[in-house]
Every structure is written in structure tokens, then in C-alpha cells.
Amino acid sequence: MWAFLRSTVRVAASPRGGHAFPMLRMMGLWALVATASGCEAPEVLAPLRLGAQPAIAAPSGAAVPAPLRRLTRQQHHRSVLALFPTHGLTDTPGLRFPADETAGPFLTNVRQPVAPLQVDLYAAAAADLAARVTAAPADVERLVAGCNRFRGDEFCGTTALHRLARRAWRRPLDEAEQAALTSLYQQGAAGGGGLRGGLALGIEALLSSPSFLYLVEPGEPTSGGRLELTGFALASRLSFFLWNEGPDDALLDAAERGELDTAEGLAAQAWRLLKDERAAPQLGRFHLEWLGLGGLDTLEKDTRRYPFFTQETRDALKAETLDFVDTVLRRSDGRLETLLSAPFTLAREPALRVYGVDPPMRFTPGLPVGLDPAQRAGLLTQPAWLAAQANPATTSPVHRGLFVVTNLLCIPLGSPPPGVDVTPIGVDPTGQKTRRQLVERHTSDPACAGCHRLIDPIGLVFERYDAVGAWRTSDLDDRQPIDTRVTITTGSDLDGPVDDPVTLVRKLARSQRVKDCAVRQWYRFALGRQETAEDEVELATLTARFRASDGHVPDLLVALVTSDAFRTRLP
């Protein structure tokens, strides 16, 4: 432990362009020593540390497409919760909609047309939610709270519907829409339905409207042949990007005042949204999807080998990644290099078992725990990623290497040739070959060698971690020592000899290729689509900005939302 603390002090004391080791900048050495050694640590994570607001993006003149986006399952779910925050909703029909599409590793819905079955599902979901939020008299009173009831049920009911519509449709209603909503209220209230019936029919209409289900993005023509998005369209883009739900009243009010019509006003609102706690799960979601952790909640492991890998463990591994991302991006130095190289965790107790660390005395979940820097460094050495990129009983060098090549280096690879055996690599039944030797056979097959020369060496470096991410020195099956020495040849600044996983992830953390790929991944995430040739001008501008910021992620996000690609679109 004290060797680790001494190494931490040396890192913190070394000049790195003003960027000291983030744990020390975040909370001071005492908190690290206290937490790691089991002493009682003070509360240190409360203040947000985003620092000064970054400057806006430089104009690029990019004119890029913007296909009509339909809400994802999570966006539908979170938007409903935000519309009815006092109704105690936890489960909504949106969580059971058909699976979303993807753009790269990220969930979105821009390609497939809506089938009749999906239309029926949306209608049924709207009817179900309308019934649930008006089920009891207390629910109805929550909807009309603040209205002078002496003015009558119709006035209070239509006022509540108009207020909900502004949030649900993410813009003000025009006179015709207000009249139509009032007419729906009257229909629902007629025949004994009263206030409850009027509200229920109006809410059902709001939630089944394309104005709720799609990100409708109107704009005004500019001299460059682009459409400059309206303030309300930008409010929706911004809130779904940073919160994964519709804009709040403050953001809609800013749009109505015209504050989002300037890059400066948009940057100010982006910074406000990032400082809000609603940004934490969305920043975490980016990293869960980027790291391929979408299936972590149901990930299965061989119960004979890993009996402790229960739902509690899966939840702890996911929480560890989310807490770590939030700590680095919103409470520390915000740098991509820190995400990929910091030797600490904010693990819960089941995750600490995977690390082989006993919980310190008076251990408080959510406070940092120092890890052996010779074994752990950032996201790619956390058990969540290592377990997700492995088989139930054994590791998978191919999956781990493929992820790094495609998701961190943005090197596109095609599908395996037809007829190639893609069965997971097991154990040599003769006992004469190690798992490494079995993996290396890929490069002797001309049909496989082209891709596997890129993939396999990187994956083999991670063989120090077993199928749940625990450190090991020998293979559980063949009992042979683990050899992680490789030479990487990807045509990037990652290339060269690598001896162990921590050396590799530190090279990844410093890599310009990884920084450039991260820009591309955030771009896909923000715009909800795969990039096209028209996007390359903007991507080059953002990439230069990210490099100049030394990989500061919040700076990149503000630059992205103030870019021409975010604020405009092709007709």
C-alpha cells in the first residue's frame, strides 16, 4: 500500500502541463491515504469541479445531414418520468418497446420505418400512461396543482394540458393546437368523465403525437444552403444529448428568449446541464455503450468457477463504472487520459472481491479506493469491461482485441469471411498447446490473418485478467504461466512492443489516435447517427480542438454543441 502511495506522490509532483494526478487535484492526498488505508475519510466529493466554462467552437462551415430521429426506449422512459415527476412512476411501457437501432456502438432510431405494430405499441403506451397518471383523485390534483380551482375544472384541466404539451412537445403550442387540445379535453370530460376524463384523453393525445415521439427539428434557411435550427430544436438536441430526456422549463424559457440562437447562449446552457446531476447517468450511458456494456445487467458466468458472480455483483460492476466516469468528468480533471489510466476505483464491496481487495474499515461506497498501479489503470482494467468482453468460463482475447481496434482506434473491420469457424477458443484437448498458441493460429490462416494481426496481439495483452476481470498469473485450464508480451501493428501510434496490460492502457491513454476516435464516437452519440463524408470537415475541427485541450472531455462536449454540425442541418 505505501509503495502505491509513494508512486502516487511522485506522479502528482511531476510536471504534466498543469495537470496533476486527478485524485490529488480532486480531494487531496489525505483523502486518498485515509480511504485506501482504512482510516475514516472526510466527505470530499460533494462540490462539482467543472472549472471555467470552455470557449465555444470555431465555425467550420459544415453542412451535414440530420435524419429524423425517433425516441429510443430510454429517452421515451426518461421523458415520461420528467413529465410526471411527482407521480412515483418507475416502470413505463417505453422500456418494453422493440430494440433500438445503433450508430456505431450507440443506441438511436433513424433508419427503420415505423411498422404498424410499433404504432399500436405507441398508442397503447400512451393510453396506459394516461390512465396511470389520472388513476386516483390525488393524481389528478398533482396535474392541476397551482391552479385556482374556483375558475372551474375546464380552465384548470386545459391549463394543465397546455403546460404539459410545452414540455412533451418541447416547444410552445400554436393557437390551432391549443384549440384542438381544449376540444379533446371537452370530449373526455363529457358524459361524466369530468376533470379526470378530460385530462386522460388529452395526455393520451400528447404522448401518442409525433411531436413527442420524434425529434422534430425545424430551421430557417441560411445563405450557405443550410437550415439554422430554431432555439426549441436546439433545446431538444441539447437536452437529449446531455440528459437523455426532453428539456426542462429553464431550457425552454431560454429558447423562447432567443438565448440559444447564439453559440455563447448555447454554451452557457450546455454548461448548466453538465453541472446538473441529470448529466451523470447520461455521461455514464455514453461510456457503457462505448465500452460494450449494454448487456452487463444480464451477463452470465460459469457458476462453478465464479459462484459469487450474482446480480448484486453485476450491479456493483456497473455502478463502479458509472461512479468512476462521473468522478473523472464532473468532479476531477475531465480528461480522457485519466479515464483510461487512473489507478483507483469507487467500487462497491462485491466488485472489490474481484480486485482481491478487502474493504477498508468503515468503508463507504462511493469513496475512492487506491489499486495496485502495476495491475490496474482506468476503464479497461475494470472488471465490468473485462467480464463483458469474455466468455462465461474463459477469457476471449479476440473480443477484447476487437473492441480496442474498432471502438478505441476506430479502425473499421469487415465481417468474418463465410465459412470461417467462429467458435470460441477453448482448451487444447491434447494439453500440448496453451490458449495463446491456439489464438495465434489465426494468423496462419490467410482468410483470418488480415484482421487478426490487428486484433489478437492486443487481446492477448489482457490475458492477465480472467473471465470476470480478476488478476492472474497462470491460466486456470492449462495451468501455464500467462505470457502477455506482444508486438502491436495497427498502423497507429500504439504500435511497438508491449509487455503487460497496464503499459498498453497507458499507451492508449496517451494515443492521439484514441483521442481522435473518441471525438468521432462523441459525435455519433450527440447526433444519433453514423458520420458521412459531409461530416469530415467538422470532425477535423473538433479533433484539433480536443487535441489542443489535452483531451478535456467537457471542453469537447461544449465545442460539439456549439459547432455548425450541431446548430444547423441540410434541408
Residues 208-246 pLDDT 10s: 999 999 999 999 998 778 999 999 999 999 999 999 999
For the ranges 120-124, 348-352, 497-501, the lowest mean pLDDT is seen at 348-352
**pLDDT tens for residues 4-28?**
223 332 333 233 333 333 333 333 3
Percentage of the chain modeled with pLDDT above 70: 83
Which residue ranges make up each domain of the chain?
69-215, 390-510
Could you write out the DSSP letters of every residue in 282-343? HHHHHHHHHTT-TTGGG----TTT-TT-SHHHHHHHHHHHHHHHHHHHHHS--BHHHHHH--
Band (427; pLDDT cuts 50, 70, 90):
low
At residue 350, the pLDDT reads 85
Could you write out the DSSP letters of every residue in 416-465? PPTT---PPP---TTS-S-HHHHHHGGGGSHHHHHHHHHHHHHHHHGGGB
Band (135; pLDDT cuts 50, 70, 90):
very high
At residue 426, the pLDDT reads 62
Cβ atoms of 20 and 49 within 8 Å: the answer is no
**pLDDT tens for residues 534-559?**
999 999 999 999 999 999 999 999 99
Rounded CA-CA distance 388/396 in Å is 10
Q: Which three cell numbers stand for residue 272?
A: 448548466
What residues does 219 pair with on adjacent strands?
Answer: 229
* DSSP code, position 552: B
For the ranges 130-134, 212-216, 429-433, the lowest mean pLDDT is seen at 429-433
Largest CA distance in the chain: 87
CA-CA-CA-CA dihedral for 494, 498, 501, 507, to nearest 10: -30
Is the per-residue pLDDT at 369 higher than 70? Answer: yes
Angle 153-168/175-189 helices, nearest 10 degrees?
130
Is the per-residue pLDDT at 48 higher than 80? Answer: no
**pLDDT tens for residues 140-197?**
999 999 999 889 999 999 999 999 999 999 999 999 999 999 999 999 999 789 999 9
Band (406; pLDDT cuts 50, 70, 90):
very high
* The residue type at 61: G
Query: Which 3-state string (H, E, C) describes 109-162?
Result: CCCCCCCHHHHHHHHHHHHHHHHHCCCCHHHHHHHCCCCCHHHCHHHHHHHHHH
- For residue 307, count CB atoms less than 10 angstroms from its CB and return exposed for 0-12, middle for 13-18, buried for 19 or more: exposed
Rounded CA-CA distance 155/143 in Å is 13
46/412: higher pLDDT:
412
Rounded CA-CA distance 244/279 in Å is 8
At residue 30, the pLDDT reads 27
366/144: higher pLDDT:
144
- For residue 552, count CB atoms less than 10 angstroms from its CB and return exposed for 0-12, middle for 13-18, buried for 19 or more: buried
Task: Report the SS3 class of residue 486.
Answer: strand
451/67: higher pLDDT:
67
Could you give the C-alpha distances from 474 to 352, 372, 440, in angstroms and in order?
A: 21, 19, 18
At a CB cut-off of 8 Å and minimum separation 6, what does 382 contact?
Answer: 317, 320, 321, 324, 345, 376, 469
369/489: higher pLDDT:
489
For the ranges 11-15, 300-304, 562-566, the lowest mean pLDDT is seen at 11-15
Query: What is the average pLDDT across 411-436?
Result: 66
Rounded CA-CA distance 18/335 in Å is 12
Cβ count near 438 (within 10 Å): 15
Query: What is the average pLDDT across 70-94?
Result: 97
Give pTM, 2 decimals.
0.89
Query: What is the average pLDDT across 325-341?
Result: 94
Q: Which three cell numbers stand for residue 271?
A: 454548461
CA-CA-CA-CA dihedral for 535, 541, 542, 543, to nearest 10: 100
Query: What is the average pLDDT across 343-349?
Result: 86
Rounded CA-CA distance 454/34 in Å is 43
At residue 442, the pLDDT reads 59
Cβ atoms of 537 and 61 within 8 Å: the answer is yes
